[in-house]
Amino acid sequence: MNSNSKKIYMNNAATSWPKAPGVAKAVFDELEQPSVHSTRTTSKTKGILDECRETLAGMLDVDDPNCIVLTANATQSLNIAIYGLCRNGMKRVITTVMEHSSVIRPLYHRAESGGFEILIVGLDSGGAFDASQFDKLLESKPDLVAMCHASNVTGRINDIAPFFKKAKDAGAITLLDASQTLGHIPVHPKEMFADVVAFTGHKGLLGPAGTGGLYVSPEIELARIFVGGTGTCTEDRFHPEEMPIRLEAGTPNLPGFAGLLTSLKWMESDIEDFHETEKQNAKRMWDGIAEIPGVHVFDNNKVIDRMPLVSFRIGGVTVEDAGHILDSEYGIICRTGMHCAPLIHKAIGSSPEGTLRLSVSGFTTADEVEYVIDAVRRIASG
């Protein structure tokens, strides 16, 4: 058991911790000084928001930083995208069983008012998106195809480009949920045929909560969902049309984006070793837990690419009890339950209880991984 009071953090798929070096200080420093907003003051200094957009545009390999809308989180980004398209007349969408509630719920809320159809792609026998079912559903001529880059439950990374290429050929707009992947692996909208990409700042980007973004292709125009103060064009009755302010309104989270910018700059210069450590830690944890008698790992496929997490159950112990034991007796912080992704649990057989999920980062140590594997082994052995 953990002999000291230090907690071992294994919940990075929910939110990363610790953050990148300097993030907390950047947030604090921004709170300690007068606010400088490049569109609302006379300061000639390039603003935090502009730098965030430019850095994110480089990461996403897109040409125009004004295609990056800054938001509070991926949930807000996905709502802006989905409701913005609905107001433009979207009537039919294809999505998948892997999706997070931040995709599923906006779609079902829209469908509640009628005149809107949701078509859901299941999994094939190997646990991937069912390509033949997808092809069949495309015959219905959907307006939108919305898919996640990776499952937050199993960690499986999806090969999105072939699906989105077919979707665009069929006349659909494509929406990618990159909440689990941006910061871990490349996310390049043009290569993936993604028209719109939603992401968050507090996971793989190692930034603060309350930050996120939405890439919108110059070829796509989303109807405005939030309108109000912008600091520009104040005399106009209606919210400005130009991007990115078209999809932004209200006072921005400057302290949060100051922290995110610090993280993005750190990732530009010092990320290769971090990602290699993360990859090694994840493989060791996944392999070690999968080998424990009495433990069932979901999507137990050793050859696919996956995010640095493992989702499992321990025979004879409920998911909630196992999570409580890991926390109270071993000092291990993890995640239990449905992970805000209700449909995939029916597909993989973990409904209604959900799974126990452990997720590492490049800051996790090899000793911590071994300790966690041993703790799960002890619980499984009774």
Query: What pLDDT was estimated at residue 5?
Result: 67
Task: Give the C-alpha separation, 297 to 282, whole Å.
Answer: 14
Task: Specify the residue for token string 């300061």.
Answer: 43
Q: Which two tokens stand for residue 83?
A: 């409701």
Closest CA to 81 of 205, 188, 174: 174
Query: What pLDDT was estimated at residue 156?
Result: 97
- 264 with 257: CB under 8 angstroms? no
Task: Give the C-alpha separation, 19 to 301, whole Å.
Answer: 30
Query: What pLDDT was estimated at residue 44?
Result: 39
Within 13 Å of residue 342, how many CA atoms lie on the same side as its CB?
A: 6
Task: Give the C-alpha separation, 89 to 125, whole Å.
Answer: 35
**Residue 187: exposure state from Cβ atoms within 10 A (0-12, 13-18, ≥19):** buried
The DSSP-derived string for 238-279 is S---STTGGG--S---HHHHHHHHHHHHHHHHS-HHHHHHHH
Region class of 294: left (phi > 0), else alpha (psi between -120 and 50), else beta: left
Closest CA to 165 of 147, 182, 177: 147
Q: What is the pLDDT of residues 257-278, one digit of tens each?
A: 999 999 999 999 879 999 999 9
- Largest alpha-carbon pair distance within the chain? 70
Q: What average pLDDT values come out for the chain (382 residues) when binned by 10 residues? A: 75 98 97 71 66 97 97 98 92 97 96 92 96 98 98 98 98 98 98 98 98 97 87 77 91 96 93 95 96 96 92 97 97 97 96 97 97 98 90
Query: What pLDDT was estimated at residue 277?
Result: 96
Task: Give the C-alpha separation, 356 to 314, whole Å.
Answer: 8
- 207 with 27: CB under 8 angstroms? no
Query: What pLDDT was estimated at residue 2?
Result: 57
Query: What pLDDT was estimated at residue 42?
Result: 43
Query: What pLDDT was estimated at residue 46?
Result: 59
